[in-house]
A and B are shown apart, each in its own frame.
Chain A
Amino acid sequence: MLELSGIGKRFGGLTALEEISFRVAKGSITGIIGPNGAGKTTLFNVATGIYPPSRGAVLLDGKDISALPPERRARLGLVRTFQNIELFGKMTVLENVMVGLHTQSSSGFFSCAFRMPWQKSEERRVRDKAKEWLAFAGIAEIEGVEAGTLSFGKGRLLEIARAMALEPKLLLMDEPAAGLNSSETAELAELIKRIRDLGVTVALVEHDMDLVMDICDALVVLNLGTMLAQGTPREIQDNQAVVTAYLGEE
């Protein structure tokens, strides 16, 4: 599904990522873990095209997408959520998800301004579809609320609903459990599993180890911008280098 090959990223003299290579298998939930500053979010930014890589290539379904801007990658089915929640704060919850359906609709300036008949029916379809995704994320009852006023937990669910509206092949989630309490985290785990069951491949950066061990099929461990290990959750738990990176040497 997604293949990162020899990714390097430098900011001036700082090397944020070096020689990162791994694959995210189709249909899996892959966790990317590592101590703070390991380069996890930078890796997501490179994968989604927010930063260009200094070196290496990003491949989606075998196709090199390294040079494509984020909006083109989104059209190809590569979508992400953000660590600090990037909602469209002045728009309603429903409108946020309708933006997620941007790629599945096509009305331009002219047909929107003149309310052409096909634009009206497209608008209805987009609205209905957006409501379905809100229901999927379990937040249908707040569709009219301004997104900027939502709690962190609800905002997170909205961000996931909005991302799912693109019907992605691969969903990258940057610390989805950050800021959630334990019952919200449990709901999130269920939601992520339901997303996988829809056939969407998921990759997530996460610090909540219970969540990671519960839902991930494969793990990649980063430390100081380099690959430390990869394998199943069980293998990683027993990996001495990983334990050292997290807890330090005795």
Chain B
Amino acid sequence: MKSDKLKFILLCLVVLAAPLPFSQGYLTSVLVFVGINTMLALGLNLLLGYAGQISLGQAAFFGLGAYGSAVLTTRFAMNPWLAMVLVALCVAAFAFAVGFPVLRLKGHYLAMATLGVGVIAHIAFNETVDLTGGPSGLSGIPNLSVGGFSFDSDLKNYYLVWGFALAAILLCLNLVNSRVGRGLRAIHDSEVAARVMGVNARLMKVQVFALSALISALAGSLYCHVMTFISPTSFGFNVSIELLTMVVIGGLGSVYGSLLGALLLTLLPEMLRAFQDYDIIFYGLLLVSMTIYVPGGLVRGIPALYRRLMPARSGHA
């Protein structure tokens, strides 16, 4: 317990200090997206890594959060914070309603059904032109502000987004080490045994699906206010796959793994800008080789590598 707290405080300090070395805004703006992706990966990891239920439609909830906030603040001039809360609750309620029929499915069928949810949402963003602006996007979204203080620079947005991301990490850490987290992991390991032990598996799966949608929607709201412009391409199928890659590569069933996965897969494409159009091939290769060689993800793979290298090094010394 003590070391868990220490780890989290250490993370907070790193996050606080991270943008200091960068005088120019570029890397800071990339780190903003690391924060948003961390929240998205965390949402998916609760569902996939802990409860063992796959979703290929996470981009739908991300998009609903972004478009919900964008539409409410630009077309209805609603207070952005109020819109954020309202949208998050509505998206969670939507996921709850969708989750009841969908999460009765297992394996490939569940993957297909959630994929369907993602595809339908993406089509809706494109086709409801009056509301969303369709393929040409929606612009003029206001920055978030508190009192007179506006989050209008990369650095300010960095601290805003990471405030949310750290809170999400802390709450998820609490959750997975509790009665609820044990219930979810029990469902993952043996659903029949979990039910015989009195765990209401059907309800818990839908609840965690709704929670993952809620976190994704919050990330979406933050995204639209940071970008001030959104278009449907940011919420397509490839985004859901990227999230899946982050979770698998970071470490299924690990909160810090979500952070590592988001960090790696947000920074890498920036470094590989030259191969922009081929990055999806790179993702595919990375996903396949990681699942074969480091099935536990970075969060378990790095310590294992360290242990393998250490005795060799001390042997030479």
Where the two chains meet, the residues of A that have a C-beta atom closer than 8 Å to any C-beta of B are 48, 50, 69-71, 74-75, 79-80, 82, 86-91, 95, 98-100, 102-103, 105, 107-109, 112-115, 119, 122-123, 126, 162-163, 166
- Chain A CB count within 10 A is highest, among B194, B201, B208, for B194
Partner of B185, one of A50, A88, A114, A163: A88
The distance from the CB of A17 to the nearest CB of chain B, in whole angstroms, is 19
8 Å CB interface, B189-216 against A = 189-190, 192-202, 207-208, 211
Across the interface, do A88 and B198 meet the contact criterion of CB distance under 8 Å? no
Across the interface, do B197 and A100 meet the contact criterion of CB distance under 8 Å? yes
8 Å CB interface, B110-130 against A = none
Tell whether B174 is near chain A: CB-to-CB under 8 Å: yes
Across the interface, do B195 and A87 meet the contact criterion of CB distance under 8 Å? no
Partner of A99, one of B171, B182, B211: B182
Q: Compute how far the CA of A163 lies from the CA of B211 in the bound complex, rounded to whole angstroms.
A: 30
Across the interface, do B182 and A71 meet the contact criterion of CB distance under 8 Å? no
Across the interface, do B197 and A162 meet the contact criterion of CB distance under 8 Å? yes
Across the interface, do A102 and B195 meet the contact criterion of CB distance under 8 Å? no
Q: Compute how far the CA of A114 lies from the CA of B178 in the bound complex, rounded to whole angstroms.
A: 11
8 Å CB interface, B70-100 against A = none
Tell whether B183 is near chain A: CB-to-CB under 8 Å: yes
Across the interface, do A102 and B183 meet the contact criterion of CB distance under 8 Å? yes
Question: Which chain B residues border A99 with CB–CB below 8 Å?
Answer: 182-183, 186, 194, 197, 199
Across the interface, do B193 and A88 meet the contact criterion of CB distance under 8 Å? yes
The distance from the CB of A164 to the nearest CB of chain B, in whole angstroms, is 11
Across the interface, do A86 and B192 meet the contact criterion of CB distance under 8 Å? yes
The distance from the CB of B22 to the nearest CB of chain A, in whole angstroms, is 33
Chain B, residue nearest A98 (CB): B182
Question: Which chain B residues border A108 with CB–CB below 8 Å?
Answer: 180
Where the two chains meet, the residues of B that have a C-beta atom closer than 8 Å to any C-beta of A are 171-172, 174-175, 178-183, 185-186, 188-190, 192-202, 207-208, 211, 253
Chain B, residue nearest A88 (CB): B189
Across the interface, do B195 and A114 meet the contact criterion of CB distance under 8 Å? no
Query: Can you list 30 A-B pairs with a CB-CB distance of less than 8 A?
Result: A50-B196, A69-B202, A70-B192, A70-B195, A70-B196, A71-B198, A71-B199, A74-B197, A80-B196, A86-B190, A90-B188, A91-B182, A91-B185, A91-B189, A99-B186, A99-B199, A102-B197, A102-B199, A103-B197, A105-B179, A109-B175, A109-B211, A112-B178, A112-B181, A113-B171, A113-B174, A113-B175, A114-B171, A119-B178, A166-B198
- Chain B CB count within 10 A is highest, among A74, A103, A107, for A74
Question: Which chain A residues border B194 with CB–CB below 8 Å?
Answer: 88, 99
Q: With A102-B179, A107-B179 given, is the CB distance from A48 to B196 under 8 Å?
A: yes
Across the interface, do B197 and A107 meet the contact criterion of CB distance under 8 Å? no
Q: Compute how far the CA of A198 lies from the CA of B201 in the bound complex, rounded to whole angstroms.
A: 29
A interface majority secondary structure: helix
Across the interface, do A86 and B185 meet the contact criterion of CB distance under 8 Å? no
The distance from the CB of B203 to the nearest CB of chain A, in whole angstroms, is 9
- Chain A CB count within 10 A is highest, among B174, B201, B208, for B174
Partner of A88, one of B171, B190, B200, B201: B190
Across the interface, do A109 and B207 meet the contact criterion of CB distance under 8 Å? yes
Across the interface, do A90 and B189 meet the contact criterion of CB distance under 8 Å? yes
Q: Compute how far the CA of A88 lies from the CA of B200 in the bound complex, rounded to whole angstroms.
A: 16
Question: Which chain B residues border A95 with CB–CB below 8 Å?
Answer: 182, 185
Q: Compute how far the CA of A162 lies from the CA of B175 in the bound complex, rounded to whole angstroms.
A: 22
Q: Compute how far the CA of A119 lies from the CA of B178 in the bound complex, rounded to whole angstroms.
A: 9
The distance from the CB of A100 to the nearest CB of chain B, in whole angstroms, is 5
The distance from the CB of A124 to the nearest CB of chain B, in whole angstroms, is 12
Q: With A90-B189, A109-B211 given, is the CB distance from A103 to B198 under 8 Å?
A: yes
Q: Compute how far the CA of A86 lies from the CA of B175 in the bound complex, rounded to whole angstroms.
A: 24
Chain A, residue nearest B208 (CB): A109
The distance from the CB of A144 to the nearest CB of chain B, in whole angstroms, is 14
Q: Compute how far the CA of A166 lies from the CA of B197 in the bound complex, rounded to whole angstroms.
A: 7
Q: Compute how far the CA of A205 lies from the CA of B195 in the bound complex, rounded to whole angstroms.
A: 21
Q: Compute how far the CA of A112 lies from the CA of B181 in the bound complex, rounded to whole angstroms.
A: 9
Question: Which chain A residues border B197 with CB–CB below 8 Å?
Answer: 74, 79, 99-100, 102-103, 162-163, 166
10 pairs of A and B residues whose beta carbons are closest in the complex: A74-B198, A112-B178, A103-B198, A86-B193, A88-B189, A70-B195, A113-B171, A112-B180, A113-B175, A86-B190
Q: Compute how far the CA of A80 lies from the CA of B175 in the bound complex, rounded to whole angstroms.
A: 28
The distance from the CB of B25 to the nearest CB of chain A, in whole angstroms, is 34
Question: Which chain B residues border A105 with CB–CB below 8 Å?
Answer: 179
Chain A, residue nearest B178 (CB): A112
5 further A-B contacts with Cβ under 8 Å, apart from A86-B192, A102-B183, A119-B179, are: A48-B196, A86-B193, A103-B198, A126-B179, A163-B197
Question: Which chain A residues border B183 with CB–CB below 8 Å?
Answer: 99, 102
Partner of B189, one of A74, A87, A114, A126: A87
